Structure 1
Amino acid sequence: MSPTQPAAVPTTRMTVDEYWEFVNRPENADRLFELHKGRVVEMSRPTTLHGIVAANIGTDLTVYARRVRKGFVTVNDAGVVLEEKPGTVVGPDVAYFVGIKRFEDVPPKWSDRPPVLAVEVLSPNDKPGKVTRKVDDYLKGGVKVVWVVDYEERSVTVYRPDLGHTVVDAGAELAGDPELPGFVCPVDQFFVLPERDESDTSPAE
């Protein structure tokens, strides 16, 4: 294999430690992966719209964390270990954690504790079955609430363990209670740009 040729995605099951070594090979620096039940899955590169929505959500959650002086927010598919055996390592688009107060205490690799909230921003090629399995992995792994954000439909679907799901559409407010006490945000705020004219009610480009 030449130095520039990407490594093939392994077909054998990996442990979390083996997966760490694999994703940190130089030839994999510009690729995205997740580990599901020991199986490596390569992910597609997100779209610009996907990145804007994730950044908007991350900003609102960071403002909330600073206001309540509790927790911290991760973006950019930062790794979370949901299971050690079989290994499951996922990268939420946005996540909100509690339980760590100092930057120096954050794990240097991936988080070994689940976030309170995991946010998945849908991509056009996401299949419903894949999304359902990922939400199930989050909830079984200890995540208290999952938001699945659809920027085409301008909606947020909220999942909680044993409580099914609810859909919050554009024009409504998304409340964080009880997991994020006091967090309230208009759903529309996730789908706008900073220079947008507030009087403009047309869909964002």
Structure 2
Amino acid sequence: MQVFTKAVTFEEFIQQYPENSEVRYELHDGVIIEMPKPTGKHSTVTGFLIEELILTIILMGKRSLWTIPRESIIKPNNQKSGYEPDIIVLNQEVLSNEPRWEDESIIENAQSVKLIVEVVSTNWRDDYYKKRADYEEMGIPEYWIVDYAAKGSRNFLGNPKQPTLSLHWLVEGEYQVNQFRGDVPIISPTFSQFSLTAEQIFQTISLT
């Protein structure tokens, strides 16, 4: 993961972001970060979850209302960061209130977001610490951390560490968390028709 040490503003970051780049970048507290290239397992888990979330959206009758864009940038309240989530589910009913969405794929309002998913890679601290705090402050209603390789610390995953899906949902401005492992069904406040277990998600990597 490459770090560009010169501090920049969010606007400078957006202006410098190369179009059609094969490399993903994020802005963390004014510093541009070149994100690690996804591994095959990371891509498999992410792709599987996108497919399952789309099926769930259809089952819930939200096909014309909720969408998963190919890419987007989240602008947190601190004005010094910009994240590109692995998966984001947007509410098309309120996207007209996002002045920068149509031309720049930038999301600034939590009301536009139904769910953010981060699939953990080598930079796991960003998902568990920084992004969690920023998404909470921003008011993102639901946030999943999918740690299929148990890379997070024992503070989060227990001892011994186990692959875990940590589901955060906003209650009175603060995240509550439920952790799912093994064959326990995942219960989502937003996606009531989502019926998989954590093991069903994690076992997809054994097929690659």
Match of 2:195 among 180, 184, 198: 184
Q: Quote the residue 1:200 is aligned against.
A: none
Aligned length in residues: 183
1:112 pairs with one of 108, 111, 125: 108
> Which residue number in structure 1 is paired with residue 53 of structure 2?
61
Amino acid at match of 1:11: K
Distance in structure 1 (CA, Å) of the matches to 2:201 and 2:87 = 12
| TM-score normalised according to structure 1 size | 0.75
| Higher relative helix content | 2
Runs in 1 of length 4+ with deviation above 4 angstroms?
Answer: none
**For 1:110-141, what per-residue CA distance to the aligned partner results, in whole angstroms no more than 9, with x for missing partners?**
22333221111111x23446631111111111
Per-residue CA shift, 1:148-173, capped at 9, x if unaligned? 11112332011233243221002111
Q: Which has the larger radius of gyration?
A: 1
Q: 1:108 to 1:191 in 2, by over 3 A?
A: farther
Residue in 1 that maps onto 2:76: 82
Structure 1 spans left out of the alignment, 5+ residues: 1-6, 197-202
Q: How does 1:108-187 map to 2 (within 5 A)?
A: 108-109=103-104, 110-114=106-110, 115-123=113-121, 125-128=122-125, 131-152=128-149, 153-161=162-170, 162-177=174-189, 179-187=190-198
Q: Which runs of 5+ in 2 are unaligned?
A: 150-161
TM-score by length of 2: 0.74
RMSD of aligned alpha carbons? 3.0
| Amino acid across the alignment from 2:88 | A
In 2, Cα distance between the equivalents of 1:66 and 1:11? Answer: 44
**1:38-73 deviation per Cα after TM superposition (whole angstroms, max 9, x unaligned):** 332221111110000011111111111222223112
CA distance in 2, matches of 1:8, 1:136: 21
Bigger relative contact order (CA 8 A; separation at least 6): 2
Using the alignment, how far apart are the partners of 1:157 and 1:147 within structure 2? 6
Report percent identity of matched pairs.
16
